[in-house]
Each structure stands twice: as structure tokens, then as C-alpha cells.
Chain A
């Protein structure tokens, strides 16, 4: 029996700094997805909201907030919070309901309104909170991205010019995307002239935070066939695994890794896609394109290796060969990625699935990856959360 569900519709509110409520963006994205699916809102049986506890949300719960704004219609409702993986967990909740037969048609939705500058911790003296401790020491999110980037330089010989080329590639992709916030082509000189944030990463190497929203209408394969959409792109796998002790990489917001004296060290980023490949029965060689979490330019190269799209240490060579640009053998971040979007935490994992859906339908316009059949996403955020989704046609 197939464990797949169909993606009948996708919709987004463009990323940016719009100065409005996350509810506004979410409803815009939901209405776009409903229209794309040809589905009446009142037919939706399950609303699965992706939440954040940091930015636009104090006191509000995503699923019910969006359901009310769209018009209470008695659907079952759920809210998922999992930092950057919130969208994937919300999608997983919808998939479980659909595969168990509890519902046939669901809306999955995430939206955010973000503050300016660094994402900062909650107020107050809270030494028991690792997030408080690291900010007290002056360790921000770019610190971690820079540590990984420097490590690549030392281990694999990557250069800051390689990192700049990731930005340049993604900016070329994103300037063709109407939902991207930054739609400008960058040159190596512009990246090199941007201020240093966390050596070796410059401002143009590190992603911003943005407002934005993304929504999916998903359904059982039976439902999809009944409405003549049996050929719609399908969700073939969702991985939301935790790290495995001893987690080897230094991860936000921790100031130390697990000690690996009593158990072998494991890579969390590599575990996320490994589980998804296993679930989908699909291997890295089947992948047509990937949407990965380029919180920094260098991190895109880590993800390419974690997705097993090349051997460890060879992602920069793959980039230099042109394989990862649209038109190449294995495009990465055809949407423009976080470089062009900026991060809207609870919407971002769903935005990745929106892009794969458009690509697999052949509706991605100037950034279309020709013959796209299988797409994979990857993201990772705070507190041991991350996800990978595989979409196939």
C-alpha cells in the first residue's frame, strides 16, 4: 500500500518586510493554495498549522488562528512547533491523518512576521537556558555558521570565493522568482565588499530573516484520483528524526557537544535525509533537484554532502563544475534559497515543498529544472529539530 499523499495545491505570500500581521500573510498563502487546488475552503477537513514561539506569535496558536481568519468551518485542527522544521512536522501531522483515513483533504500552513536584526533570546536572567548563556557570551547564530564554514576551509580547502559563488548562483535563481525577497544578481566583487559578520562569512554569505507565508493543500491519493489529479506531485517521505547521541556537531544554541566517550559520534544533518531516502525507497542518484537550508553560503555545501549528492568534501568542486545551478545536472536551491528569501521560520520548510511542487509540475518558469521527477528538501534549526521531505512525480 502506498504511503504517499498528493499535493493538490500550493501557495505563498511573497517574502519581505511588509510590516503586517503573520495572519494576513498566512491567509493570502492559504487562499492561493486553495485556488491552485481548485478546492473550496469549507471542504478542508484538517488544518495543520506550523508555529513559532519567537516572533509574530505571542499568545497565538497557528492552526486555530488561521482557521478563524479563513472562517471557522468546523475542521479538525492541529499546531506544530519545531523551530525550522515546524512546517515539515505540520505536513507530517496532515499525512498521518490522511493515511489513517481520518481525513482526505488538509491545509498545511505556516507564516511569520520577524523582527529586525539578530534573532535574540527571551528577556531576563536565565542561566539554565543555553540560549541565554550563549548570547551572554556573544555567540549568535552566525557564529555557528562561521565555525562550520571555517571547518570546511581547513578540512576540504574550500575558499571564501567558493562561498561567494553559492550566493551568486542562488541570486541568479532567485531573481526569477516572484516570491523571493531579494531579486538582484550579485557579483563576486559585491559579495567581497559586504561587511564581515563572522569571519570568514560576510553579510552576503548569511541569510536575513523575513516575513512570509506558505501553504499546501494535500489529499489522499483516492481523493486526488476522484478529482482527476491522480498525477499530482506526491509527498514520498517526511523525516523529522532527532539527533542520535553522541551528537558530534556543535549545534545552536548549545555551547558544547555531547561527549562521545561512551557512544560513537553521529552527524545529525546526515541522519535527516538518510531516513527520508529509506522511507521513500529512493536514492540520492534519483534526485533531480534539492532545496536546502542555506542559512549561510557555506552551509549549502555541507547540505549537498549530507544529502549524499556528492562525496564528503567535494561539494565545492560540484559547485565549481556548474552542476548545482539551474541548467546543470543537479540544481540546488532553484528557488533562490534562503539567500534570496531570508528565513521565515515556520513557513520556510513549506516554501521548500512549494518550490519542488512547481518544479515537478513544470511550472517554475525561468528557473525551471528540466525533467524534474524527484525533489528533496533539507533544513535544520534550534533544539535538535530538522527535517527532510521528498516529493516525487
Chain B
């Protein structure tokens, strides 16, 4: 079996570092507002005229704000396995950034294993596959 090419489904949205996976956000150098996806042009805080941003890794841990799952196969551009495998979805609150970020939950973790308020951490896992490629995404996973 030939090895599939692995690549992120979106380039530059997340990275796997020494300490683990993190999302790549940006931060307004004037008012400190964080952005994910990254903002590079104009700060959206109406009280801020900032146009300078620094790229920052976002907190890789947060608290589970809410969660659900996708029992039915989502429409395109979602790329489904055959047969379709339902998966959980998490909304995680990042304390330092004061924002909530959505993402799929890692394979094998069902909604029954999730509780609002529990600690979660970011990991990188396969989102979808084709015959030749494996597409990676950020995912949320219950943290120890």
C-alpha cells in the first residue's frame, strides 16, 4: 500500500508545535483583540483603528462551552468516509482570548463522553481522505 500524502485542509490555520497543536490566530497590536481565522488588515473593534497584527498561537486548552454531533452526513464541501461515520463537534471557550472556537471532536469520542465545562485540548487529526491524500484538521479532545 502506498503512503498517502498528508496535508492540512487549510494551509496556515493551525500547526503542530513542540508543546502540541495550536490554532494560528492574529492579535491587534493596538487593542489586543484576537482573531481566528486570522485578520491581517483592519481591526473589527469599532473603538480601534488598528491595522497592525501579530501572528500568535492561540491557547491550545480551553473549557467546553457546548457540544453536539453530526448524525447525518453533511453536504459538500464536506468529504465523507464511506460508510459515513458520525462525529462529535465541540465549541471551546479560550480563557485568555475570551473567544469560542468550533471544531470537530477526535474520532472515538462520543457526545456521551462530553460535559459542558470540561477541559479540552487541541490536536491535529485526519479530517478526510481521498485515494491519494489525507487531509488534516484541528480537532478538540477531552484533556486530562
Q: Which of A137, A199, A245, A261 has the most CB of B within 10 A?
A: A137
The number of residues on chain A lying at the interface, defined by a beta carbon within 8 Å of a beta carbon of chain B, is 47
- Chain A residues 110 to 160 lying within 8 A of chain B, measured CB to CB, are 117-118, 120-121, 123, 125, 127, 130, 132-140, 142-143, 146-151, 154-155
Whether the Cβ atoms of A154 and B102 lie closer than 8 Å is: no
In the assembled complex, the Cα of A259 lies from the Cα of B25 at a distance in Å of 11
- Interface pick from A97-105, A249-257, A277-285, A303-311: A249-257
Interface string of A30-54 (1 = CB under 8 A from B): 0000000000000000000000000
Contact of A137 with B66 in the complex, beta carbons under 8 Å: no
> Is the beta-carbon distance between B66 and A154 smaller than 8 angstroms?
yes
Chain B positions 41-71 with a Cβ under 8 Å from a chain A Cβ = 44-48, 65-71
- Residues of chain A with a CB closer than 8 A to B77's CB: 121, 125, 132, 135-136
Query: What 1/0 flags go to A191-218 for Cβ under 8 Å of B?
Result: 0000111111100000000000000000
A148 to chain B, nearest CB (A): 7
Asked if B24 is at the interface (CB within 8 A of a chain A CB), the reply is no
A260 beta carbon closer than 8 Å to chain B: yes
Report A204 CB to chain B, min CB distance, Å: 14
Question: Is B109 on the interface with A (CB-CB < 8 A)?
Answer: no
Are A261 and B75 CB-contacts (below 8 A) given A143-B68, A147-B68, A256-B100? no
Q: Is the CB of A259 within 8 A of B99?
A: yes
CA distance A130 to B48 in the complex (A): 23
Pick from A137, A150, A195: contact of B137, CB under 8 Å? A137
The minimal Cβ–Cβ distance linking B135 to chain A, given in whole angstroms, is 9
Partner of A259 from B34, B37, B65 at Cβ < 8 Å = B34
B89, A258: Cβ atoms under 8 Å?
Answer: no
Residue among B37, B87, B96, B99 making CB contact with A258, cutoff 8 Å: B99
Are B99 and A260 in contact (CB-based, < 8 A)? yes
In the complex, are the beta carbons of A256 and B75 less than 8 A apart? no
Q: Within the assembled complex, what's the spacing in Å between the Cα atoms of A261 and B44?
A: 13
Compute how far the CA of A88 lies from the CA of B6 in the bound complex, rounded to whole angstroms: 47
A265 at the interface (CB under 8 A from B): yes
Pick 11 A–B contacts, CB within 8 A, sort by A: A130-B37, A138-B70, A138-B89, A146-B69, A148-B66, A154-B116, A197-B72, A198-B69, A245-B45, A258-B33, A262-B45
Q: Known A-B contacts: A147-B89, A195-B71, A262-B33. Give 15 more (CB < 8 A).
A: A117-B75, A136-B77, A136-B79, A138-B74, A150-B68, A196-B69, A199-B71, A246-B33, A250-B91, A256-B36, A256-B101, A256-B102, A260-B98, A262-B31, A263-B33
